[in-house]
Structure 1
Amino acid sequence: MIIKKVILLTAIAFISLTACSSTKPIQLPELVISANSNKTIENADSIHRNKRYFATYSTVNDLLNTKLDLKFNWDSAFVMGKATLKFKPYFYPTDSLKLSAKGFKVNEVALVKGSTKQALQFTYDGKSIFIKLDKTYNRDEEYTVAIDYVAMPNKLIVKGSDAITQDKGLYFINNNGKDPNKPKQIWSQGETEANSCWFPTIDGPQEKHTQEITLTVDKKYVTLSNGLMVSSVNNADGTRTDVWKQDKMHSTYLTMIAVGDFAITKDKWRNIEVNYYVEPEYAKYAKLIFGNTPEMIEFYSEKLGVDYAWDKYSQIVVRDFVSGAMENTSATVHYDKLQMTDREHLDESHEDIICHELFHHWFGDLVTAESWPNLPLNESFATYGEYLWYEYKYGRAEADIKSQMDMMAYLSSKEDAAKDLIRFDLDDREKMFDLVSYQKGGRVLHMLRKYVGDDAFFAALKLYLTQNRFSTAEIHDLRIAFEKTTGQDLNWFFNQWFLSPGHPELSIATTYNETLKKVEINVAQLQNFVNAPIYKLPIDVDFYSNGKVERKRIVIDNASQKFTFSYDKKPELVNFDAEKMLLGLKRETKSREEWVNQFNMAPLFMDKVEALSYLEYYSSYADVQEVYKNALSDKIWGIRIFALQNLTSVPVTARDQYYQTVLNIAKTDEKSYVRASALATLSELYKAKDNKAVYSQMLKDQSPMVEQMAKQLLESK
């Protein structure tokens, strides 16, 4: 699952480390790089006291297989279903069965014995079917129950959350056909516990089953479900019956169906079918949008040491989806923003969504969080899967841009800072879908990787995936996999990052003691919220001296610490958190010259951004203005945008030296975000110049974002 993104067709603006950028006449979406904060989490204790413990669901009957035979009434938006469900007691003997079934008309409940059925006593309260079995079954005995029912999802009282706006499970889109601009479709959305709105089942991530789903639809429609289509038969009445079979265990909330007029573009990974389902007019763009998928599958399979486990991989784009996307096993559903033209693709490829949902097929589908409080085992990993793909495909800078955006989204939320990553004090499972489970969790995994090292990190993930394959896991299973791999006790890491709220706030001052010939690094932990811990923070520091770079690891574990290192002369640069991996806020004290050196010497995207952030206060100095010139032509597009933002701090008398460069960026930069941002900079900082010609020229830009920006600027004249 990915939360629906808000995509604005304008340039990305960066906000600096120490102060917000100036107000602009044209509002740009913000890519926040870092920020200072004195925020206090005021009600952390009350938040924890007022919520109940959300326990893992007990398993009484184990659902082994679900067989569904479904027909659809478009006019009423009803599902006529026949379900055949195979069970066995999980451990203790039982003579009863409880199934979730929301808003049904239940026609029959029967025990299947060979080719015959035996009616069973049951009661139904509109949410659950309570069934009295014919006898007491022991854990080594299987039994099968058949249910004839009608599901009426449109009659349900709809609830939802910020992440998943509705929870009626099955959606009939334009079912009466009255909207000429919208196709008729049926699609499902099961997470968290909405699949029981269209078939009887056992809700919860802990329940895994195999399945076979028969869909009878008009011949003109295409169907999709989990697994493989094992048969497709045309019927005499103008319908067709498709049978989809998923013979590998997966959680019941990952069951899906879709029906509609879709064009199928076929692709392949190794010997596995990879297909893209879009509306027919977008078929020519399907490989542009989804074409990296086979390479993603190969990359993740190789990186994790665990091959993609499912029989196929399909992606389908539907109308009016209630979230951003959903990782249904072997059949991901995307919202309609992924249905785009080649021009729109220039501005926003949504590749992060595509790789996020795919990575779930290891973390979420192959190994599933055994309870909703453990959801970060699904979502934090899928978020970090985005980082891994961008790092591999486009380079570390692209991955770091994304990681920093994620971290600052989390840090911007005062409420989320009070939440544990793995949290059992829930009053609503839907509240797990937030900036903590996604953005914070992804960054925590990045820190874990940097702490243990790449070899250990991916070896531990392979062990975790292998030991829990086609099953469920909780956070301690992950910890144990890392401990078995590294030989280290990692309770301290998991306790402070996964099982506690908040994040550190550090003040760092680096000085050189000429008398003692020592570098002194003073670090203070300043986090200020109720029961704030003192964090244990292994941090790498790079020392640039005599043309060499030496890395040393320090461990911060006190409220205030001093670290000293012997150097015959002052290093040109001491780069704290050299990997730029820390989740938290930090304030550093360095000289102007040291920040200039950091920009020029240190290699990472965040090295340069941190330097530019602090150098904003020294913009009248010639060496800083030279840094800005270099930043405007930096190979990393995020640095170029940040440099454009920094020009607002340059004295008016010195701005003309950048004008031609900004003009050229607006016309020719390879990144549409940067071109649009340069246009905004021309409008704000160079009002006295006649920029109308370049605005008019950019009306013909291939990027809709740039075109819209140019149009807005011309209209404001």
Structure 2
Amino acid sequence: MSRNSLFISITCLLLSCWSCATTKHVDIPPVNIYANAPNADVYHASYPLKISIKHTDLDLRFDWERARVFGKATLTLQSYFYPQDSVILDANGFEVKAVMLLQDAARKKLPFTYDGKKLAIALDRKYNRDELFKIFIEYTANPNQLEVGKDIASPDDRGLYFIQPDELAGIPRQLWSQGETECNSNWFPTINNTMLKMTQQIALTVPDSMITLSNGLLKQSKRNNDGTRTDIWKQELPHAPYLVMIAAGNFKIVKDQWRGKEVSYYMEPKYAPYASMIFGKTPEMLEFYSKKLGVDYPWDKYAQIVVRNFVSGAMENTSASVFFDRMNMTPAEYKDETYEDIVAHELFHHWFGDLVTAESWANLPLNESFATYGEYLWLEHKYGREEADMHALNDELAYFAKDKNKELDLIRFNYADREQMFDEVSYQKGGRILHMLRETVGDDAFFASLQLYLKKHAYQSVEVHDLRQAFEQVTGQDLNWFFDQWFLAAGHPLLEIKTHYQDSTKQVIVQIAQKQDLASMPLYKLPIAIDIYVDGHVDRQTVTLTKQEQTFHLPATKSPQLINFDAKKCILGKKEQSKSLDEWAYQYKHAPLFMDRFEVLENLNDVLDSAKAKEIVVAALTDSAWMIRLMALGAIEKFTKDELKQIYPTVKKMATADERSYVRASAVMLLRTLFQNYDNKEIFKIASQDDAPSVQQALHMK
């Protein structure tokens, strides 16, 4: 799932304050999460398994005006290991009308008790683990009547949402569900346990004018005599109950395909012409992920639907992902934000989350860290490492932006509320940790380990040790040290780096100190790549930091022009290192990565009165990375009038010709401020034809 509060945008740099340390979230209502009390004595274990749900069969009709569900559920159940003579189901806010045991063609009433949340059913006898039995439940669900603070924690937990039409606001009537974390039990009886895997069949009876969507394949569609239609959707591969979804409304289906499987995009008719623009790379993503992971996309189809007023950014329901209505984009809006990362995120979940599912909310990063890293993998494949690294920088900034994040383990059992797990630690930090793991074991071993992990645990639930063991089996290495310090501990390293050249021994001396609080964070073991640049030649040395303070002696024939610490730019941590302006200039010109150049501009703020620093900024105005160009525009406010005059043609060109709309918008704003005394009428006339919202906002902002 993509949480609202986790979307990071670089648009804050449009009128860029010099540092890139601030980021801007998408402006939609936040999810309120409250931190644990210090040293809270909380442990959330995995839920016990007493009863397995093997299959769920639902027959659903809807009261659209009163937002009610009239449901008939048939659950095929099995004792997990020990014999059971009762079943306890999650069913929040129901009116339970009948509970029966189905035996062949006969129905037998079963005694039950119901407290408004739990439905406790007494069976006619004990059932052993090799016996299947079926229970029928007739009920009415009232998700809109659930009280916040009593029945549900927030309005985002209703599970099923009836969107009432509003012609003036252009809002159509819709219905959609959102099951994660434990909200599906607000509209059908189930067991809220991520370790369960079940198949399903759902019959949806809706007005004949509506289009429906659910997991799996549409097996039957039948028109009824009362102006309704019943669609029957069948999911034949097992998945967790929270991944069940339904949706209905006035949608147009734009169909695509991948390897003979249907790939479809459900959009409101107004936005359907842009469906291929928004979602059209999905087949290519399916092919890339299937080949990269060595495990083909396993589900029967892949549908993506955009709904109104969704409670999150998106949700990876098995074979049918739901997206928020900011995906209802025009070509102009697409110039600013494509949300391609969200499309990739939800698709990657179909391996990590849907096929292999975290066994508890404490292990949620096994879903969300992977989906976040799936974004990086797609961007790296499609657009190159530079684009992927810019995206990764946003992840790092999101994690570092909140000081409390350093106090939280990645895999953690002491959350006060399971919704707390959906944070920058589970998503962004976890994604960066997976990148470090990839760099640690190498590409071949990394993807071979993921293939083993997925194949071994397909249609099952897992904990973090299953992931570690897959990596250890492939690599033949004990990786407890990596998992203990990154997956099972809080924080990140704070590294103080000092370097100098010792001419008498022809050695580069690298002194590293770990400055993090060792009372709350690990003493890290860190493999570190160090590039030594001597007269155009680069010598990479790899060292392993294991102590709080450690000195390394590395060979060099003469004093280097640059010592590039963490040359792979993969360590998730804070680094303090002083370099001369000459070294920064050399790094900008010669080091190969986006993050090398980002480090340079990030460290020039205090020396911008220097001519050499300004030379770097001028060069950065035409950098290949749009974020670097944006940072450079944010720095020129410290230039003199004569210096501004020299770069004016460059800024003017950027306002209309830069390939990234945010850069064009920033340049337009600077023309209106720093260059307001210049004759900009013609360039503003050209820019006015640019329909990117950011550019239009820059032109008209007061």
TM over 0.5: yes
CA deviations over 1:466-516 (Å, ceiling 9, x no partner): 110011000000000011111111111111111111111111122112232
The residue type paired with residue 146 of structure 2 is L
Given that residues 423 and 499 in structure 1 are in contact (C-alpha distance below 8 angstroms), is that contact kept between their aligned partners in structure 2? yes
Distance (whole Å) between structure 2 residues aligned to residue 21 and residue 308 of structure 1: 37
| CA distance in structure 1 between the aligned counterparts of 2:151 and 2:95, rounded to whole angstroms | 27
Match of 1:355 in 2: 344
CA distance 1:342–1:20, change in 2 (3 Å): closer
Q: CA deviation at 1:530?
A: 4.1
Residue in structure 1 matching 2:67, options 77, 93, 101 = 77
Q: Take 1:466 and 1:238, find their aligned partners in 2: how far apart are those partners?
A: 46
Structure 1 pair 138–202 and aligned structure 2 pair: CA distance change class (3 A): same
Equivalent residue number for residue 40 of structure 1: none
Confirm whether residue 12 of structure 1 aligns to residue 13 of structure 2.
yes
Residues 347 and 497 from structure 1, CA distance in 2 versus in 1: closer, same or farther, beyond 3 angstroms? Answer: same
Give how far 1:679 is off.
Answer: 1.9
Contact 2:15-2:666 within 8 A present in 1 as well: no
In structure 1, the partner of 2:28 is none
In 2, Cα distance between equivalents of 1:523 and 1:516: 20
Which amino acid letter does the alignment assign opposite residue 442 of structure 1? G
1:107 CA displacement:
0.5
Helix, strand or coil at the partner of 1:482:
helix
| Residue from 114, 135, 139 that aligns with 1:145 | 135
- Following superposition, the deviation at residue 629 of structure 1 comes to 2.4
Given the alignment, which residue of 523, 526, 539 partners 1:534?
Answer: 523
Separation in 2, partners of 1:345, 1:164: 32
Give CA-to-partner distance per residue, 1:310-368, whole Å, 9 cap, x none. Answer: 00000000001111100000000000000111111111001111000000000000000
**Counterpart position of 1:660:** 649
Aligned residue for 2:389? 400
Give distance in 2, aligned partners of 1:363 and 1:416: 23
| Aligned twin of 1:706 | 695
Whether 2:308 is the aligned partner of 1:319: answer: yes
Q: Quick one: which of 39, 44, 47 aligns to 1:54?
A: 44
Superposed CA offset, 1:196-246 (max 9, x none): 000000012112110000011111000000000011111111111110000
Shift of residue 449, structure 1, vs aligned partner: 0.5
Distance change >3 Å, CA 2–CA 51, structure 1 → 2: farther
Match of 2:555 among 563, 566, 580: 566
Contact 2:15 2:669 in 1 (8 A): no
> 1:180: Cα distance to partner?
5.8
Q: Which residue of 1 aligns with 2:97?
A: 107
CA contact 2:489–2:521 (8 Å) conserved in 1: no
Moved more, 580-589 or 153-162: 153-162
Shift of 1:618: 3.2
Contact 1:616 1:649 in 2 (8 A): no
8 Å CA contact 1:11–1:673 kept in 2: the answer is: no
Match of 1:98 among 88, 92, 114: 88
Give 3-state SS (helix, strand or coil) of 2:242's partner: helix
Q: 2:492 pairs with 486, 503, 506, which one? A: 503
Q: Name the Cα RMSD after superposition.
A: 2.3
Listed as ranges, the gaps of 5+ residues in structure 2 are 26-34
Q: Which amino acid aligns with 1:12?
A: L
Q: Please state how far the C-alpha of 1:554 moved relative to its aligned partner.
A: 1.0
- 1:291-330 to 2 correspondence within 5 Å? 291-330=280-319
**Per-residue CA distance 1:546-591 (angstroms, 9 max, x = gap):** 3322211111121211111121211222111111111111111111
Question: 1:21-420 counterparts in 2 under 5 A?
Answer: 47=37, 49-158=39-148, 166-174=156-164, 181-420=170-409
Equivalent of 2:541 in 552, 562, 565:
552
More moved, 652-661 vs 63-72: 652-661
Q: Distance in 1 between matches of 2:546 and 2:639?
A: 40
Q: Is the 8 A contact 2:94 2:141 kept in 1?
A: yes
Instruction: Give the whole-Å Cα distance in 2 for the aligned partners of 1:156 and 1:207.
Output: 25
Partner of 2:32: none
Shift of the alpha carbon at 1:137? 0.6
CA contact (8 A) 1:573 1:597 kept: yes
- Which residue of the other structure, out of 621, 634, 659, is the alignment partner of 1:632? 621
Deviation, 1:159, is 5.7
Structure 2 match to 1:476: 465
Contact kept in structure 1, 2:507 and 2:553, CA below 8 Å: yes
What CA deviation, in whole Å up to 9, does each residue of 1:628-661 have, x standing for no partner?
2221111211111111122234345533221211
Structure 1 residues 251-290: Cα deviation after superposition (integer angstroms, max 9, x where no partner):
0000000010000000001111000001001110000000
Asked if 2 retains the 8 angstrom alpha-carbon contact of 1:317 and 1:339, the reply is yes
Question: One-letter code of the match for 1:507?
Answer: E
1:37 corresponds to: none
3-state SS in 2 of match to 1:390: helix
The 1-side partners of 2:664 and 2:152 are apart by 33
Deviation larger for 352-361 or 509-518: 509-518
For residues 589 and 59 of structure 2, the distance between their equivalents in structure 1, rounded to whole angstroms, comes to 65
Task: Determine the C-alpha separation between the residues in 1 that align with 2:154 and 2:398.
Answer: 19
Structure 1 position 11, deviation (Å) = 6.2
Aligned to 1:38: none
In 1, the alpha carbon distance for the partners of 2:440 and 2:553 equals: 22
SS at match of 2:180: coil
Task: Check whether the contact 2:13–2:631 (CA below 8 A) recurs between aligned residues.
Answer: no
Measured in 1, the distance between the counterparts of 2:699 and 2:418 equals 45
Distance 1:397 1:161, change over 3 A: farther
In the aligned structure 2, how far is the partner of 1:62 from the partner of 1:467?
21
Deviates more, 1:572-581 or 1:116-125: 572-581
SS at the partner of 2:203?
strand
Greater alpha carbon shift after TM alignment, 640-649 vs 207-216: 640-649
SS in 2 for 1:554: strand
Partner of residue 435, structure 2: 446
Q: Secondary structure at the match of 2:477?
A: coil
How far off its partner does 1:528 sit?
A: 3.4
Aligned with 1:280: secondary structure? coil
| 1:688 to partner: Cα distance | 3.7
The 1:254/1:434 distance shift into structure 2, 3 A limit, reads same
- 1:51 Cα offset (Å): 4.0
- SS of residue paired to 1:519: strand
Which 10-residue stretch deviates more, 632-641 or 677-686?
Answer: 677-686
Paired amino acid for 2:318: T
Question: Quick check: 2:10–2:24 contact (8 Å CA) kept in 1?
Answer: no
Tell me if structure 2 keeps the 8 A contact 1:102–1:126: yes
In structure 2, give the amino acid aligned to 1:575.
N
Once the two structures are TM-superposed, the CA of residue 383 in structure 1 deviates from its matched residue by: 0.3
Equivalent residue letter for 1:433: F
What percent of counterpart residues are identical?
51
Rounded Cα–Cα distance in structure 1 between residues aligned with 2:182 and 2:677: 59
**Structure 1 residues 708 and 195 mapped into 2: Cα distance closer, same or farther (>3 Å)?**
same
Correspondence for 1:25: none
2:445 pairs, out of 429, 438, 456, with 456
